[in-house]
Amino acid sequence: MLQPFLYNHHLNVIREQVDVLLYNVSHLVDADVKDAVRHNVADKLLGLFSSLSDEQASFINEIRYLNESEIGGFLERVENAVIPFPEIANQQVEKLFTRSKKVTLPFNHSRTLTYLGWNDIRSKRKYLIYPINGVLIGIEGTYRILNQRTTCYLCGRYGEVAHVTSEVYDKGEYHTIGHYICVDSNVCNEHIKETAPLEAFFMKVYNKQLNA
Ligand SMILES: [Zn+2]
């Protein structure tokens, strides 16, 4: 049986590309053009990975040959192939955020996540947890919800965002950085299609925490 090998951001890209495929298959008439779209989508998905086993590659490659009625089943198999976010206990969370008091996990959070994030309404702090090289890292910042919609730094979605300010340590100096980040981290997670901005943000803020 195929072991989970996909991450949440892969799932988001696959869902997006499946939508592209379904839209084109139902709107296009020319069979050759439809095939071109299929191959384009399949190549795009295979291009997400720097290395895949033969089994994993043929699994992704299925999309090249599916008809419309088979796509739902394919998406279900994709969801089952996503590596779940690590289980975390409240005691672990306290260790990740030693400078804040009584940080507790949100109830019933999904395990299909790129990062776990939530807002503490009382302290106006946003907490984020993300595994880097298998180690869970926690970072935090203060947030202020904006009245206007704009683009989230982490997922690129245009919507309701908060301005999140975090302390960083860079080039021998302490300063603060601010980013617009989705107010709702679950929504953010459904739109993340690459992890580079998230990782850059974590490394900057975590670097400060190491040097504090
Ligand atoms: Zn976002």
Considering the domain architecture, whether residues 73 and 118 belong to the same structural domain is answered as: no
Last residue in a domain, options 51, 80, 109: 80
In a domain, 205, yes or no: yes
Residue 49's pLDDT is what?
96
The pTM for the full model equals 0.91
Q: Tell me if 8 sits within 8 A of 189, measured CB to CB.
A: yes
What's the pLDDT tens digit per position in 73-96? 999 999 999 999 999 988 889 889
Considering the domain architecture, whether residues 75 and 120 belong to the same structural domain is answered as: no
In a domain, 1, yes or no: no
> Average of pLDDT values for 46-74?
94
Show the tokens assigned to 13.
């890209």
d(CA 118, CA 189): 11
Considering the domain architecture, whether residues 71 and 48 belong to the same structural domain is answered as: yes
Considering the domain architecture, whether residues 103 and 139 belong to the same structural domain is answered as: yes
Distance from residue 162's CA to the centre of ligand 1 (Å) = 10
In this structure, which amino acid lies at residue 165? T
Distance from residue 70's CA to the centre of ligand 1 (Å) = 31
Distance from residue 156's CA to the centre of ligand 1 (Å) = 6
Reported confidence tier of residue 175, pLDDT bands at 50, 70, 90: confident
Considering the domain architecture, whether residues 119 and 169 belong to the same structural domain is answered as: yes
In a domain, 2, yes or no: no
Distance from residue 159's CA to the centre of ligand 1 (Å) = 8
**At residue 173, does pLDDT exceed 70?**
yes
Last residue in a domain, options 25, 58, 80: 80
Considering the domain architecture, whether residues 74 and 119 belong to the same structural domain is answered as: no
Considering the domain architecture, whether residues 198 and 113 belong to the same structural domain is answered as: yes
Distance from residue 28's CA to the centre of ligand 1 (Å) = 32
Considering the domain architecture, whether residues 52 and 134 belong to the same structural domain is answered as: no
Distance from residue 173's CA to the centre of ligand 1 (Å) = 28
Distance from residue 191's CA to the centre of ligand 1 (Å) = 7
Q: What residues make up the domain containing 26?
A: 8-80
Considering the domain architecture, whether residues 134 and 181 belong to the same structural domain is answered as: yes
Q: Tell me if 120 sits within 8 A of 103, measured CB to CB.
A: yes
Considering the domain architecture, whether residues 127 and 34 belong to the same structural domain is answered as: no
What's the pLDDT tens digit per position in 117-172? 999 999 999 999 999 888 999 999 999 999 899 999 999 999 999 999 998 777 77
Show the tokens assigned to 96.
């990740």
Reported confidence tier of residue 209, pLDDT bands at 50, 70, 90: low
Distance from residue 157's CA to the centre of ligand 1 (Å) = 6
**At residue 55, does pLDDT exceed 80?**
yes
Considering the domain architecture, whether residues 99 and 169 belong to the same structural domain is answered as: yes
**At residue 101, does pLDDT exceed 80?**
no
Distance from residue 82's CA to the centre of ligand 1 (Å) = 20
Show the tokens assigned to 67.
């008809």
In this structure, which amino acid lies at residue 15? R
Q: Report the number of distinct structural domains present in the chain.
A: 2
Distance from residue 15's CA to the centre of ligand 1 (Å) = 17
**At residue 208, does pLDDT exceed 60?**
no
> Average of pLDDT values for 57-74?
93
Residue 98's pLDDT is what?
79
**At residue 29, does pLDDT exceed 70?**
yes
Reported confidence tier of residue 211, pLDDT bands at 50, 70, 90: low
Residue 51's pLDDT is what?
95
In a domain, 162, yes or no: yes
The DSSP-derived string for the chain is -PPP-B-HHHHHHHHHHHHHHHHHHHH---HHHHHHHHHHHHHHHHTT-S---HHHHHHHHGGGT--HHHHHHHHHHHHHTBPPPPP--HHHHHHHTTTSSS--PPTT--SS-SSEEEEETTTTEEEEEEEETTEEEEEEEEEEEEEEEEE-TTT--EEEEEEEEEEEEETTEEEEEEEEEESSHHHHHTT---SHHHHHHHHHHHHHHHH-
In this structure, which amino acid lies at residue 77? R
d(CA 144, CA 163): 5
Residue 168's pLDDT is what?
79
Last residue in a domain, options 52, 80, 108: 80
Distance from residue 89's CA to the centre of ligand 1 (Å) = 25
Distance from residue 189's CA to the centre of ligand 1 (Å) = 7
Task: Count Cβ atoms within 10 A of the Cβ of residue 75 and give its class: 0-12 exposed, 13-18 middle, 19 or more buried.
Answer: middle
Considering the domain architecture, whether residues 18 and 101 belong to the same structural domain is answered as: no
**At residue 197, does pLDDT exceed 90?**
yes
Q: Tell me if 169 sits within 8 A of 159, measured CB to CB.
A: no
